[in-house]
Structure 1
Amino acid sequence: MNKLAPSTWTKSSYSGQQANCLEWRQARLARQIDVRDSKTDVEAGHLTLPQGSWLAFVDSLAADRT
C-alpha cells in the first residue's frame, strides 16, 4: 500500500462563511479521502472513504444543484 502524508483539510465551498461545514483531505493511503464535520472536536475523528465513492458523492451533489 502506498502511504502518503495527509494533505491539509479543505472546507466545502458550499459552506461559504459558516463555521459548520464538511471538510475533506487526501488520506494517508493512496486513493482514499478523509471527511470530517468541522463543528465537532478535532479528536472526534473522521470517515475514510474510497476516492471513487467520494467522487461519486460529489458528482451527485453537483447534479442536484443544476
Structure 2
Amino acid sequence: MQQFYKLSLEQGELSTDQELFSDYEKARAETILKALEGMRIISAQALLEKCKEAVMQCQISV
C-alpha cells in the first residue's frame, strides 16, 4: 500500500512524521481505496460522505 501521511491543514503541507493509518487500519483502508479506483475524486468523496452518514445510523455491538 502507498504510504499516506497526516496533512497539516493549518500549514497546508504533509507531515512525514506521522503516518495516516495505523497498522491495524492499513488493510481495511486499502480495500476501501481500491473500491474507489476509477472514480473521479468528487464522486469518491460524495460516496464516502454517504457512507459516513450510513455508518452513523448503524448499530454497533462490541
TM range (shorter): 0.3 to 0.5
Instruction: From the two aligned structures, give the one with the greater strand fraction.
Output: 1
Instruction: From the two aligned structures, give the one with the greater helix fraction.
Output: 2
Instruction: Kindly name which structure, 1 or 2, has the bigger radius of gyration based on alpha carbons.
Output: 2
Of structures 1 and 2, the one scoring higher in RCO (CA 8 A, sep 6+) is 1
TM-score where L is the length of structure 2: 0.37
